[in-house]
């Protein structure tokens, strides 16, 4: 029988390598060999969803209404719930019907948006280092990327003055992400005001990825892009329940802001999905509208872990800036190593997994990312294991 060949579409060949899949394989190989690996390499919340949210799903799963197809664009009660949360937390007013789209997790919206707004040859401005899924949507749109370097001496904020005239002219879309993955930096309101002005002057849509919006330290609540005057005129914000409520596996996210863009997202999703299971929408609304004490407790836990980890890093002489938000740490590698060779060394010799900075773009070279997603005891032990390698003076 002759071999039947099935070639893929060209666009499939342009997709970036799924960087984290390789990281997971390397960690699993060490675990399979019987080693106790402290895995700080991924961004998966390590504590369960709060019980009152789980209970809401259990109860709503019994409701026969939710056994039917959901409304295409989701239930109004869930859109109202996220609008209420934004009003309470950020003083931002959103029209639930026209300025809120429900997403199958934030990642879905991040990948859809370039396909909605970009034609082949258009440019998307992308942070470097940045979350790799920004690249995926641009590749699927057959558009091009121009990178915005995030440098420590500028607090990991992009410098709009440094963007070339050609990139400004051809760019139709820009991704921003604060609190930032991977650098853990946060952005002030003044930066977003500058962003709105830059976007208006150059006709560039802003997409603010606010996945870690609930996680700010030292008494500071992270600022939403939508708090800046005129933000809704030029862009949208992506919000997700994954990090705020430890609901990563539930896949509930939102696009919020500019009504024209929200309408386009809804239109594309009409062709791909019928909205989320109604029971999950009901539980998500419970998360957003009931007491937010669980969020405060979660942030306090991450802050306590941050303090324990950085105290332990200080003990071994590994000096780095303490995160001001997110649940990541962005740590400089010692001289003589690349981010990849250093990460390999830590996994091989200390059985500690971290993510090499280069996986987030060439601007991430020289750093590794470590998640605050283990207990204080395990984070401290990770630092002690690394200390035994005597890499820091």
The Cα–Cα gap between 235 and 56 comes to 33
Q: Report residue 11's pLDDT band, with 50, 70 and 90 as the boundaries.
A: confident
Alpha-carbon distance of 178 to 184, in angstroms, equals 8
Quote the tokens at residue 286: 């419970």
Q: What DSSP line would sit under 112-144, residue for residue?
A: HHHHHH--TT-EEEEEES--THHHHHHHHTT-E
Taking the C-alpha atoms of residue 154 and residue 79, their distance in angstroms, rounded to an integer, is 36
SS3 257: strand
pTM score of the predicted model: 0.95
Q: What is the pLDDT of residue 15?
A: 84
The Cβ-side half-sphere exposure at 384, using a 13 Å CA radius, reads 7
* Helices within 316-348 (DSSP H only): 339-345
The interaxial angle of helices 259-272 and 106-117, nearest 10 deg, is 100
pLDDT reading at 379 higher than 90: yes
Which pLDDT tens digit goes with each residue over 147-191?
999 999 999 999 999 999 999 999 999 999 999 999 999 999 999
| Secondary-structure breakdown of the chain: helix, strand, coil percentages, each rounded to the nearest 5 | 50, 15, 40
In DSSP terms, 235 is beta-bridged to 206
Is pLDDT at 2 greater than 70 in this prediction? no
Average pLDDT over residues 66-76: 95
What are the pLDDT digits (tens) for 292-321?
A: 999 999 999 999 999 999 999 999 999 999
What is the C-alpha separation between 5 and 75, in angstroms, rounded?
44
Give yes or no for residue 3 having a pLDDT over 90: no
Contacts of 96 (CB under 8 A, 6+ apart): 76, 79, 80, 82, 83
Q: What is the per-residue pLDDT for 14? A: 85
Is pLDDT at 1 greater than 90 in this prediction?
A: no
List pLDDT tens digits, range 260-282. Answer: 999 999 999 999 998 999 999 99
Q: Are 78 and 242 in contact (CB under 8 A)?
A: no
Q: Which domains does the chain have, with CATH numbers?
A: 10-48+294-387 (3.90.1150.10), 51-289 (3.40.640.10)
Predicted confidence at residue 20, as pLDDT, reads 75
DSSP state of 291: -
* DSSP SS3 for 335: coil
List own/partner pairs for 158-167 with CB under 8 A and 24 or more apart: 158/125, 158/127, 160/194, 160/195, 160/198, 163/125, 167/123, 167/125
Taking only the tens place, the pLDDT of each residue in 82-118 is 999 999 999 999 999 999 999 999 999 999 999 999 9
Map residue 370 onto helix, strand or coil.
Answer: strand
- With contact defined as beta carbons under 8 Å apart, do 150 and 179 qualify? no
Distance CA 364, CA 156 (A): 11
C-alpha 35/C-alpha 44 separation (Å) is 21
Q: Give the C-alpha separation, 63 to 6, whole Å.
A: 44
- Distance, CA of 48 to CA of 352 (rounded, Å): 23
E runs forming strands in the chain = 38-39, 100-103, 123-128, 144-149, 171-176, 205-209, 235-240, 253-257, 328-332, 352-353, 355-356, 367-371
Where do runs of H (alpha helix) occur along the chain? Answer: 10-13, 19-32, 51-61, 76-90, 106-117, 133-140, 165-170, 189-202, 231-234, 241-244, 259-272, 278-289, 293-315, 339-345, 376-387
* DSSP at 373: -
- Report the alpha-carbon distance of residue 393 to residue 386 in Å, rounded: 13
pLDDT tens digit sequence for 116-149:
999 999 999 999 999 989 999 999 999 999 999 9
Backbone angles phi and psi of 46, in degrees to 5: -100, -5
Mean pLDDT, the chain, rounded, equals 96
Task: Tally the residues of the chain.
Answer: 393
pLDDT of residue 357 exceeding 80, the answer is yes
For residues 97 and 341, what is the distance between their CA atoms, to the nearest angstrom?
50
């Amino acid at each position: 029988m002759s071999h039947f060949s099935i070639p893929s579409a060209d666009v499939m060949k342009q997709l970036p390598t799924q960087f984290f899949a390789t990281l997971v394989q390397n960690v699993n190989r060490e675990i399979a060999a019987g080693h106790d690996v402290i895995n700080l390499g991924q961004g998966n919340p390590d504590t369960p969803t709060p019980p009152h949210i789980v209970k809401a799903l259990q109860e709503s799963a019994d409701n026969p209404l939710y056994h039917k197809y959901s409304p295409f664009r989701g239930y109004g009660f869930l859109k109202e719930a996220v609008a209420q949360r934004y009003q309470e937390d950020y003083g931002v007013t959103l029209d639930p019907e026209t300025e809120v789209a429900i997403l199958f997790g934030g990642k879905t919206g991040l990948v859809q948006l370039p396909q909605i707004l970009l034609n082949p040859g258009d440019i998307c401005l992308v942070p470097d280092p940045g979350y790799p899924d920004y690249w995926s949507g641009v590749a699927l749109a057959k558009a091009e990327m121009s990178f915005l370097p995030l440098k420590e001496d500028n607090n990991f904020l992009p410098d709009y003055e440094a963007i070339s005239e050609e990139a400004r002219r051809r760019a139709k879309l820009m991704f921003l992400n604060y609190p930032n993955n991977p650098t853990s930096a946060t952005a002030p309101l003044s930066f977003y005001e500058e962003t709105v002005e830059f976007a208006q002057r150059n006709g560039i849509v802003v997409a603010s990825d606010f996945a870690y919006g609930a996680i700010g330290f030292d008494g500071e609540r992270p600022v939403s892009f939508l708090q800046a005057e005129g933000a809704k005129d030029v862009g949208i914000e992506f919000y997700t329940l994954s990090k705020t409520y430890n609901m990563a596996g539930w896949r509930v996210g939102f696009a919020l802001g500019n009504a024209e863009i929200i309408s386009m997202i809804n239109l594309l999703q009409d062709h791909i999905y019928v909205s989320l299971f109604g029971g999950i929408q009901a539980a998500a609304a419970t998360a957003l509208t009931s007491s937010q004490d669980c969020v405060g407790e979660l942030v306090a836990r991450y802050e306590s872990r941050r303090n324990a980890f950085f105290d332990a890093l200080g003990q071994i002489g590994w000096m780095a800036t303490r995160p001001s938000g997110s649940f990541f740490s962005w740590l400089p590698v010692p001289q003589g190593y690349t981010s990849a060779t250093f990460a390999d060394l830590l996994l091989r010799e200390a059985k500690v997994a971290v993510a090499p900075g280069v996986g987030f773009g060439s601007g991430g070279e020289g750093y590794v990312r470590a998640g605050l997603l283990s207990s204080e005891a395990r984070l401290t032990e990770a630092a002690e294991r690394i200390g035994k390698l005597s890499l820091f003076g």
